[in-house]
Structures are given as structure tokens and as C-alpha cells.
Structure 1
Amino acid sequence: MLMDMPYRSKATSTAKAYREGEEPSKKRVVLPTRDAKRRLECPVKKKPIEVTIEDVEKITQIAMQSNSPTCDRDALLAILSFHVMLRASEAEEIRWDDVIQSGDLIEVVVKRTKNDQMGLGRSSFFHYTPGSDADILMCRWRLRNKKRTCEYVFSNADGSRRLTEQSISAAATKMLKLVGKAGATHHGFRRGGANHLRAQGHSLEEIRTRGRWRSMTGLQRYLKDIPEAQGCKSTMRTRGGLEELEESDEE
């Protein structure tokens, strides 16, 4: 008699109950939440604070008026970082022998850089005016360090040791805050220098070479859209009408 009774396993009953419980859910409307969740997980990238040549000039003027060794050093850091587009890690390694003045040119030798696969170092050049504030700061800071033992350009106040990459970044953030660019970092000098050269009409290859970018793709992420980069001359509106902006060759 037991053989005639239908056998139902516990597992089969559980599976049936699960399917019956799932039936109502199949009738529900499934919303495209996957893409929405992905958008929530990827916040909008924060726009970097722009650093311009005017900011570098303001930092230079503060140093000229203060006659402070630390201000001289920080202003020189701003000048070289902007015009040579130094990374903080590169600025840390700059020695006095790596900065060569010749006529109206300054050569900065960067010993270790990302696009130097041979490890021979790269030279970056920029124009400067002899007797200018930048020239005075360079000479003044060099004289202050003449009797000190540290061979690096960017050293601490007593000249006993070089600044670390973190100290250089902190000094840059501090001086940029003084000129109204709170939140800007040392890397803003590199980005600002690239856009400054682009606005002057320099080619992408010239900017890439001076700034030691490994690829053109890496450089283009730093550049903003400007009329000059697209072959359009910029104009500004004055009280008398429109005035054309002349492109300057000065750097």
C-alpha cells in the first residue's frame, strides 16, 4: 500500500514554492537602474583651478616687496614651475648646476622625467629678460645660498637640505592662496604654463617637448579650448569698440 502512494520530495516542493513566489515578480516593470547607479558611482570631475601668468607675476611682486628668503625661493619655484612646466617631483631634483643662464635664455636640465627613456635627462628652455624681477630673484636666491652646503635650488630656510616633493606642493598651495587661488595646487603651474604657451601660438609639439609629456594625448588633457588654438584671432571689447589682441612672443 505504501508503494501506491505518490512520492513528493521536499526539494521538489521547495522549488515549486519558489517558482510560484517568483511569478508575480515577472509581471513587474523593470526600470533601467543599472545605468543610473553607474552615474551615481561616477561623480562629475571637479574642474581644476586655473593658474595664469598674472598669478605668477603677483607672486613675484610679493617676493620683491618682502625681501624674505622664503618668499624669494617660493617665487622662483612659481616662475620655473610655470615656464618649464615642472612637476613637483622634478622641482625637488633641480640642482644649481641644472639651471643655466645664457643671454635671454634659461635652460633647466631635468635629470629624471617621464619621457626620457634613455635616462639622459631633458633640457627645457624659456625666454626671460635680464634685469627683470625674475632675474633679480634668481640672483638674490643664489647669493643667499652661496655659502650653504645644499646643492639643490629649492632648499629649506637655512639651506641645510632640499625640500621634499610634499614640501614643494605645500609651498605652492600656500603662495597660490595668497594671490586668491585657494585650492590650487603646484600642478596648476604646469597646466597654466601649457595653456599660456598655447595662447601665444606655440605648437602642440613645442609645448609637449618643453613640458616633457610622454605623449600628445597626455598633453591634450591639460589644454583648454581657446580661439587662438583654432586659428581665430581673439578680440576684446573696449569703451571705444573692439580692439584686436596682438599675440606676444614674450614668455
Structure 2
Amino acid sequence: MVEWLRSGAVVECDNETAVELARAVGWIRHNLEWAGMRINEEKSQWEDSQAGNESALHSRCLQQTAVRMEEEDSRCTEVAPSERNGLAPELLEKTGYMLKESGRGGFSGERGAMLEDLERELSRAGRTDLMGVARSALEGCVASSTLKNYSGADRARRRLAAACGLEEEADLSLCLFVLDAMAKKRSKSTIATAIAAFGYSRGEDPKESRFGPILKAAMRTAARSVPVSSHPKATREEVESILRWGTREGAGAADLRIAVITLFSFGTLLRPSEAVALKREDVSEKSGVGEKLILGVSVRSAKNDQEGKGRTSYFSLGPGSTGRLAWLRYSQFLAERSAAYLFPSINSPDTPVKSNFVRKELTRACAAAGIDRLIPHSLRGGGASASIQEGASLDQVQKRGRWRSADGMTPYIADSIETQGGTLSF
């Protein structure tokens, strides 16, 4: 229906028909958005079937569907003027295809009004060139990954509002989205992101609005009622298996690369987004006790590093270890290619690999190494659990893994005698 409307098939219709068509299109797009988010949450949780092939097929289909949805989303959001001319004006407005000419750049409410006032004042002063700086300042006050999450959440809220015939900027649209998310058993993080995104764009605290009590209650209820899925924790033995496979005779460059990604993710508790963003200059080497090689990995901007201060985590490689051999060979590979990124594309050295690609490569490595399937966060959780088992405190592991709070770290820690500080004796 979206393609049919965009084709210009409808140029005139009465107002009632326009409303119904707009509502139908809105619901279709909202449900596609919701399905896409569910795919992103669930596509990594397929367990291998006895045959081993069925889950791989499912995973590939899910990933292809997610890619198609992302492409369709960009086409539906960015509509060329020639395409918009084929639709009746009232239909364009109700389906959300009208471009906003207010110059607010994604901001609304008090923050949007403030930007409009600032633009008028700067215009009188002859310095409208500073508007871009002002918007950059507002956007730069949060991490880029957070801004991306805000954008996705705000898009989903607007689409649901349009589907229900509500004003996209009304506080009711946020309340509607939150209640709809609860009805669909979405996680607390989904609800929290939607609330934070709405507050960021408007410069107001949604929890202080007329629907504030409902939003606060929704946060508490979602935290209790929506179960948190726990991913498997990688063990040292599993990481060692991947390293042996990646450094075997005849191993390709891609095999060695995913082996080193596994090593770094386990050793410094990297998030997938942190791993793919690393550059060669972010890794430092120094000698340790007993001929150990200590690697320092500087994470320039973690997901929760809103101020962009960066953090450095360390791990060591013993003499003659498989990990040290993998790093030595991989360092030579990087030097030969003059790559800027630590984990570049094989065919394009100036381009880093993507998080989704790392997930697929790790699945391939696990199958080839003969171990159970792991996901990138399995390495982060496994490294955290191993650190505690070897004597590190919870506070030390929290710093090493760049967690903002102990609550955020808890799901990554495996239950064991060591991680619980031993046993209580009688």
C-alpha cells in the first residue's frame, strides 16, 4: 500500500478516505517497525538444531529480512519531491510525508521554540552561520550511539501517533507508545529510550507532564514483568579453541581476524560496537612480569560514555601462548595493509567491519572450531566472569568493562562459587 500511494495512483479523494488510507499506512509502517525491532532482539537467540543447518538458515533469513526492512525504512522516510507531488496534500500530511520547514532539525517543544528564537536573533545579528554550531552542541551533548537510539525510538513513536491520528508532538503520543510497548511485552530499555528521546527532542522531562505518573509506573512495571534474556558466557577453553582454529596452518585472513576479535572482546570485555570502532593507534604494548606482553586497549567512546572521555582496559599475553601467536600474526597482517582500523574489511582496508558482520563471523568460527554457538556479548560476559573467578573485585571488573553501574553488569556475570565469593560453611 505504501508503494501504491507513493506511485501517485491516488491524487484526489475525499477527506474521510484520506484519513482511512493514512491510518492504514501508518499501522502498516508501525507494525513493520515493531517487527524489525523484534527481529534485532531475537535473531541472535536461535539455538542450533540437531542437524545444525536449520538454525543457520533461520538466522540468515532473519538477517536478510532486517536488512530489507532497514532499506525500506530509508526509502519510506526519505521521499523525493517528485514522489511527493503524486499524492494529495492532505494525504501527504496525514501519512507523515510532509517535510517540516520549521528549521528545528528534529527538536520540538521548548527546545524547538528556543532554536527558532535563536535563529531569529542570529539573523538580526547577521550570524545565521552559527545555527549549525548550536544544533551540533545540542546533538553533541550525548554519545552518537545514544543519539542513534533516540532517533529510532522517536521515529517509531511518530509512526504510531500518525497511525492513530494523533499529533506527533503531543505528550499523548509518548503515553500511547509506552502503553503499546507494554502491551507487546517490550523491555524496560525500550520504554526508557522512548521517554528519554522525547525529553531530549523537546527539552522537557516527560515524567513531569500530565501523563508522568503513568510513564513512571510503566518503567517500574516493565522492569518487573519483562524477563531479561541471559546469553551464554564464553569460557577460556572456548576462546582458546577459536584461537587455535584461527592460527591453524592454512587459516585465511578472515579466520585470523575473527580469532583476534574474540581475543580482544574476551580480554577487555568489549561491546561489539566498541570492537569494530577500534583503530590501530588505540592499542599499546608494554612488557609485563615474566615476559608477558600487556596490551592496552583505548575505547574512545563507549556506549554509555556521554562525555566522550574514553577508557583504557588491559589484558596480557603469555610467552608462547596461542593468543600471543594470533596477535603477532595479525599485527604483521595489518602492517602489510597499512590499515587504519584494527579490524578492517579484507577487501577495503579503510573500512571497518560492522557489528552484524562480527556476529555472523563468530557463528562461523564457533561452528568451525567445534564449540557451541556464541554471540559477541557472550565474550564480554565470559571475560567478566573469568576476571572475577581469578580474583578481580566487582568494582574492578565494572571499570574494566566500562559499565556505568553494577546493576548493568550483573546479567553478564555467570553464577559460580567464585563469582559469589565462595560458600557459606556450617
Shared fold (TM-score greater than 0.5)?
yes
Coordinate RMSD, CA, aligned = 2.4
| Cα separation, 1, equivalents of 2:230 and 2:407 | 19
Farther-moved stretch of structure 1 (171-180 vs 209-218): 171-180
Deviation at 1:213, TM superposition (A): 0.6
Determine if contact 2:232/2:378 at 8 Å carries over to the other structure: yes
Greater radius of gyration (CA): 1
| Cα separation, 1, equivalents of 2:378 and 2:364 | 13
Which structure has more relative contact order (CA 8 Å, sep 6+)? It is 1
Aligned to 1:49: 232
Deviation at 1:89, TM superposition (A): 0.4
The count of aligned residue pairs is 195
**Deviation digits for residues 166-190 of structure 1 (CA, Å, limit 9, x no counterpart):** 2122212221233444442111100
Determine if contact 1:199/1:229 at 8 Å carries over to the other structure: yes
1:230 aligns with 2:420: yes
Determine if contact 2:294/2:315 at 8 Å carries over to the other structure: yes
Normalization by structure 1: what TM-score? Answer: 0.70
Aligned to 2:318: 129
Determine if contact 1:149/1:159 at 8 Å carries over to the other structure: no
Amino acid at match of 2:312: S
Pairing 1:49-68 to 2, within 5 Å after superposition: 49-66=232-249, 67-68=251-252
| Cα separation, 2, equivalents of 1:217 and 1:210 | 15
Determine if contact 1:195/1:223 at 8 Å carries over to the other structure: yes
| Cα separation, 2, equivalents of 1:167 and 1:230 | 35
Amino acid at match of 2:394: L
Identity over the aligned pairs, expressed in percent? 29
- State the secondary structure of the residue aligned to 2:379: helix
**Which of 283, 296, 310 in structure 2 is aligned with 1:99?**
283
Segments of 5+ residues of structure 2 without an aligned counterpart are 1-181, 186-224, 288-292
1:148 aligns with 2:331: no
Deviation at 1:45, TM superposition (A): 5.7
**Deviation digits for residues 61-113 of structure 1 (CA, Å, limit 9, x no counterpart):** 11221332111111101000001011110011111111111013110011110
**Alpha carbons of 1:130 and 1:100: their partners in 2 closer, same or farther (altered >3 Å)?**
farther
Determine if contact 1:94/1:110 at 8 Å carries over to the other structure: yes
Amino acid at match of 2:270: L
Aligned to 2:404: 214
Determine if contact 1:87/1:190 at 8 Å carries over to the other structure: yes
Determine if contact 2:239/2:263 at 8 Å carries over to the other structure: yes
Amino acid at match of 2:314: F
| Cα separation, 2, equivalents of 1:81 and 1:166 | 15
Amino acid at match of 2:307: M
**Deviation digits for residues 5-54 of structure 1 (CA, Å, limit 9, x no counterpart):** xxxxxxxxxxxxxxxxxxxxxxxxxxxxxxxxx9xx77866542331110
**Which of 260, 265, 268 in structure 2 is aligned with 1:81?**
265
Amino acid at match of 2:379: F
| Cα separation, 1, equivalents of 2:411 and 2:381 | 9
Q: Which runs of 4+ in 1 moved over 3 A?
A: 41-47, 179-183
* Structure whose residues are more often helix by fraction: 2
Deviation at 1:123, TM superposition (A): 0.3
| Cα separation, 2, equivalents of 1:182 and 1:55 | 8
Aligned to 1:188: 378
Determine if contact 1:173/1:184 at 8 Å carries over to the other structure: yes
**Deviation digits for residues 137-156 of structure 1 (CA, Å, limit 9, x no counterpart):** 11211212223243111112
| Cα separation, 1, equivalents of 2:275 and 2:382 | 16
1:138 aligns with 2:327: yes
| Cα separation, 2, equivalents of 1:114 and 1:43 | 23
- State the secondary structure of the residue aligned to 2:256: helix
- State the secondary structure of the residue aligned to 1:221: helix
Aligned to 1:169: 359
| Cα separation, 1, equivalents of 2:233 and 2:307 | 33
Aligned to 2:119: none
- State the secondary structure of the residue aligned to 2:315: strand
Determine if contact 1:105/1:127 at 8 Å carries over to the other structure: yes
Aligned to 1:109: 298
Determine if contact 1:148/1:159 at 8 Å carries over to the other structure: no
**Alpha carbons of 1:123 and 1:145: their partners in 2 closer, same or farther (altered >3 Å)?**
same
- State the secondary structure of the residue aligned to 2:403: coil
Aligned to 1:119: 308
Normalization by structure 2: what TM-score? Answer: 0.43
| Cα separation, 2, equivalents of 1:163 and 1:177 | 20
Aligned to 1:158: 347
Determine if contact 1:90/1:110 at 8 Å carries over to the other structure: yes
**Alpha carbons of 1:115 and 1:43: their partners in 2 closer, same or farther (altered >3 Å)?**
closer
